[in-house]
Chain A
Amino acid sequence: MSATVAPRPVDSEQRPGVDWRVRLLDRAPFLVACLMLAVIVAIYGSYQTGVFTLDELNLDTAASMTLMLAATGQTIVLLRGGIDLSIGGMISLGTVIAATQFAEEPGSVAIWSVAILALGFSVGALNGLLISMLKLQPFLVTLATWSILNGVAMLILPTDGGSVPGWWVAFGYAQFLGLSSPVWMLILLFVFWTWFRATRLGITIKATGSNEKSAFLSGVSITRINVATYGLSGLFAAGAALFLTTQIGAGSPTIGKDYILPSVAAAVIGGVSLFGGRGHLAGTLIGAFILTLIGNLVFVLKVSSYWQPVVSGVILLLSVLASSVAEKAARARAQ
């Protein structure tokens, strides 16, 4: 193609290296997300002192963590080539159960937390079952279960209210080695993902999203993969609900809907493909950070906070356009 010689990895005695530009273009959506985050942090940092401190990291991570947890589940579903709208219902339901059932003693909190997580997994698994057994579209199934879960949440707690123990709220801000618990959760999420994407389940979910028919021909049980995928998404939504109660100290039957589309947006900004098979959690977490930091940015720039959704929308559009341009370029180059 040109005079530049592509670097050759050690194992390349088999074949000349892949054009490094193709590799770069393959990662373009993620790199664009990193760049956007860097720009946002730079602007933020130049208007505000104390941005590059642990305190700021602790605060911003706490503000992002609910979305991050919800978006982790959504990322797994998107990798599978589906979408999960029901997480909105599950988050609402989780917060109202916690706010009505958590008693002061840790034992009750522990039991109900486990119950909420188990419920999240079961509801998700049921989504997966409905999708596979009745051959229904994920969009409609999870739209329906979102409505149902939201309804149940409203039956339990018609309006915002209830409460969780003070120590539980404090736990959401607790610090260990200078890092707050949300930052530790972020680290845990990374560790989990590094492990999960290398497991056979992780690979199979990605493979099924990449090409369902090929996966089936290779012996994958699509039903089992759907149950696991949506089950995990429900589990993470329940986790998001539990974390959210530490932030708002109460339950809300309507709060969940604020996380449905942003969870998809965070993943897409981070380079996860809506068509399945492509993307990483790292991108999603950066996407979630971006969406949260836009709020801070609008604040320090002293413009109306109403600009926040405008900026998010523009960033979302820029990301998808960047990935579609990059994919076209990569395809042209790979030929």
Chain B
Amino acid sequence: MDLVTVTGLSKRYGGIVALSDAEFTARAGEVHALLGENGAGKSTFIQILSGAVSHDDGTILIDGKNFRPANPDDARARGIAAVFQELSLIPDLTVEENIWFRHEPMTAIRTVDRAAMRRQTLELLARYAFPPLRPDQELRRLTLAERQIVEIAKGLAKAPRILILDEATSALPAREAGWLLKLTRQLAGEGKLVIFISHRMAEVRAIADRLTIFRNGRTVAAHEANAVSDGEIVAQMIGRNLDRLYPERVPSATDRVALKVDNIASGSRLQGVSFAMREGEVLGVGGLQGHGQRELFQALFGTAKASGRIELWGKPTVIGNPRAALIGRDGIALVPEDRRGQGLLLTKSVRENLTLAVIKRFSDRGFLNSRKEAALVKEMVDFLRIKAETPDQLAGTLSGGNQQKVIFGKMLLTEARVLLLYDPTRGVDVGTKGEIFQLMRDLAAKGYAILFHSSDMPELVHVADRVLVMRNGRIAATLDGERITEENILGAAMLEVEAA
């Protein structure tokens, strides 16, 4: 009998349909992969299953019995544990306190039985052959990968029958990711159901018994894993012609160097990187996550302390903070990684957001000229086709794609011709993605130089003129022309990691 049966599951957020009529069945003792693009509805689906979000319509049966959790505790009571990308850990508690939080073994005087907790922790870690962790270390001192592992331990501590892993490998180095894959097989062998979400086809291939594919909030297919090819899976995930997403790549790079970076280093993650980016060039930055890409962008925009030399348009420049970067035509602008935390004032208007970095451009003797401001805003709203009712609409009420356009607009208004784009299409709908790529090519054609990082490898392959592959804080390879392929990027990115 199926352990989980879902029929007709729907969820709406305001006017936006996140999940519509989704179907899902899974058996005990299997690893079941959930596939789909960003925004396909996978996250909403597992949030409902784990009790974090309640659904509008549809039924969930577990062991044939109806299941409608009001909160995560309800789901836990029925044996469901979820490990989300957004971690639920407490920075000021220790590893073991986090693992057993709210389920600690207690003594007779209603205090936590520390000895028992330590015993249970070591047992748990040993039973599943966890990578090294110190039970008594405070969580805030751990790396992201270590935290991810603690989160997995926290999920397993509840001895769940159903374990949901949401892109749990994405934050893990290769060896730990390998451990996690083995772990899923071990759990399936124990008769548990593992629902596994990943964007990495190889992982899915390695461990999944069955897979379900989501697209645009619907279930499009369910397969036995060995009965379907990679090509079929991708086609069903994407459901459209890829060619339309990416604009034609017309090389526009000149010989003039826009940004020259010489041996730039920052902290332990960025170990010394040198490269030159030319006018009219889209330069991709790839590699596995956590190999210095973020630190490189931070160093170039002045949000992290760094050593090394930077030349902009031939002139040596010191960038100690974003203000030193945002100096007009000869400066550098950044579209940051965290749209809501770094890019946008959610409770302020589109207008205020767009012009925040260029207040001088519409000031007369210190006073704001609202007519000039309105003209600048209109220019950007039209140019980027930002869909807002009025410029006074709050930025936080726009769709993800339009929010990202506002951030682009804010940076374009600074007129800086060296642009840093850190994963600019993350969480953006497909239509806007296409627009963003087209925009990048258009800007390059106008002589902008664009440094472009994406966590989605095909984007680098299809949009960049050249790709720097980073590994252990250095540039492991520079690929251009025909050599920009997913295989080459991955090959350069993983070589040493595999050897380590």
- Chain A residues whose CB sits within 8 angstroms of the CB of B101 once the complex forms: 203, 207, 218
A-contact 0/1 string along B89-107, CB 8 Å cutoff: 1111100010001101010
B118 touches A214 (CB 8 A): no
A177 within 8 A of B: no
CA distance A277 to B141 in the complex (A): 14
Does the CB pair B112–A198 fall under 8 Å?
yes
Given A215-B90, A218-B88, A219-B71: A204 and B111 within 8 A (CB)? no
| CA distance in complex: A14, B153 (Å) | 14
List chain B residues, Cβ under 8 A from A206.
92-93
CB-based contact B118/A200 at 8 Å: no
B133 in contact (CB, < 8 A): yes
B397 within 8 A of A: no
A18 touches B102 (CB 8 A): no
Return the CB mask of A15-38 against B: 1 if under 8 Å, else 0: 101100010001000000000000
Count: A-B pairs, CB below 8 Å: 85
Residue B110 lies at the interface, judged by CB distance under 8 Å to chain A = yes
How many Å from the CB of A241 to the closest CB on chain B? 28
> B72 touches which one: A199, A218, A277 (CB < 8 A)?
A218
Interface residue? B254 (CB, 8 A): no
B453 to chain A, nearest CB (A): 22
Complex contacts, B114 vs chain A, CB 8 Å:
198
Q: Is A324 on the interface with B (CB-CB < 8 A)? A: no
Report whether B138 and A26 are in contact in the complex, using a CB–CB cutoff of 8 Å: yes
B132 in contact (CB, < 8 A): yes
Q: How large is the interface on A (under 10, 10 to 19, 20 to 34, 35 or more residues)?
A: 20 to 34
State the CA gap A75–B136 with chains docked (Å).
Answer: 24
Q: A210-B92, A219-B73 are in contact. Are A203 and B97 (CB under 8 A)?
A: yes
Whether A278 is near chain B, meaning CB under 8 Å from some CB there, is yes
A50 contacts B by Cβ under 8 Å: no
Chain A residues whose CB sits within 8 angstroms of the CB of B104 once the complex forms: 200, 203
Closest Cβ of chain B to A26, distance in Å, is: 7
Cβ distance B237 to chain A, nearest Cβ, rounded Å: 28
Given contacts A195-B109, A219-B76, contact A22 B93 (CB under 8 A): no
Size band of the B side of the interface?
35 or more
Q: Which of B86, B110, B134, B141 contacts A22, CB < 8 Å?
A: B141
State in angstroms the CA–CA spacing of A198 and B116 once bound together: 14
User: Inside 8 A of B88's CB, which chain A residues have their CB?
Assistant: 214, 217-218
B491 neighbours in A (Cβ, 8 Å): none
Per-position contact with B for A33-54: 1 when CB-CB < 8 Å, else 0?
0000000000000000000000
Bound Cα distance from A156 to B125, whole angstroms? 61
Whether, in the assembled complex, B308 has its beta carbon less than 8 Å from a beta carbon of chain A, the answer is no
Q: List 7 A-B contacts (CB under 8 A).
A: A11-B134, A14-B122, A200-B104, A211-B90, A217-B52, A218-B90, A220-B102
Chain B contact residues, CB within 8 Å of chain A: 52, 71-73, 76, 84, 86-93, 97, 101-102, 104, 106, 109-112, 114, 118, 122, 125, 132-138, 141, 267-268
Interface residues of A (CB under 8 A from B): 9, 11-12, 14-15, 17-18, 22, 26, 195, 198-200, 203-204, 206-207, 209-211, 214-215, 217-220, 277-278, 334-335
